[in-house]
Amino acid sequence: MSDAERYVRPLSAESQGLAPGRGRLAGRRILVVGGGQQVVDAATDPVGNGRAMSLLFAREGASVAVADRSRDAAWATADLISQQGGEAVMIEADIAREADVSRMIDEATQKLGGLDGMVLNVGIGVGGLGLASVKPDEWDQVLAVNLRGPMLCCREALPRMESGGSIVFISSIAGLVAGSRLPAYDASKAALGGLMRHVAMEGSRKGVRANIVAPGLVDTPLGRRATQGRPGRGAAPQFFGRQATGWEIAYAALFFISDESVYVTGQTLAVDSGLTGIS
């Protein structure tokens, strides 16, 4: 099939972040870890996954704690929520630091008056491509953020969460299939599956669910920066003829955070236009 013949999935109102809220999270208190956004080109940057989730959750009626290692990025997201009539607080925290994680969970619980849900939208990929380029210090840096950090967040948050709560890990299809050529990134994202299932098992004792959203290629500032460093990434085939938007990832997370998935736990949902299922 030529590029001219390839089907391109139209952008819906949800895809563009234009759909109205429907009250799906009314009264909920949600912590979004990684709710800020990197800046590549402020004039043209699309919405990132973390910001889209924070805005969407607030639009659906939740009070949102926006946590990020960048104070300015977290403030910007919280301010956008306030401008849209939502309720948000900002927390500066680096989840690679254990003390920051403990403080973040304390602040979120206190400022929101409790905790009904948490999304872990964190992930870095550093170092050269392939095993031959792996350096132990870079390997440790990636796992500290991508795996150790989420573990610490769950360790601190699970005892504080209300019964019936939900934890959503934002992983990547790199944890399901080879392809990023960054061994530490792939390994850390694959390991999130084991962590998620353990959290789901322990959480079931108090009705707290845990699931993974695994995005494919997404048009975000971070994704654009990755493509700048590896142009072949942007040329990867897409069954729907385009990359996902941050809003489309946010709606998948909304499903897991809301009671619409009340009987779903320990599962991984790939949002990738079918790349991992039919390629």
User: Would residue 263 show up in a list of annotated catalytic residues for this protein?
Assistant: no
Q: How far is CA 37 from CA 69, 140, 186, 206, 251, in A?
A: 10, 24, 22, 33, 18
Terminal Cα-to-Cα distance of the chain (whole angstroms): 15
DSSP the chain: --TTTS--PPP-TTTTT-SPP-STTTT-EEEEET-S---S-TTTPPPPHHHHHHHHHHHTT-EEEEEES-HHHHHHHHHHHHHTT-EEEEEE--TTSHHHHHHHHHHHHHHHTS-SEEEE------S-SSGGG--HHHHHHHHIIIIIHHHHHHHHHGGGSPTT-EEEEE--GGGTSS-S--HHHHHHHHHHHHHHHHHHHHHGGGT-EEEEEEE-SEESHHHHHHHHH-GGGGGS--TTSSPEEHHHHHHHHHHHHSGGGTT--S-EEEESTTHHHH-
Active site (catalytic) residues:
185
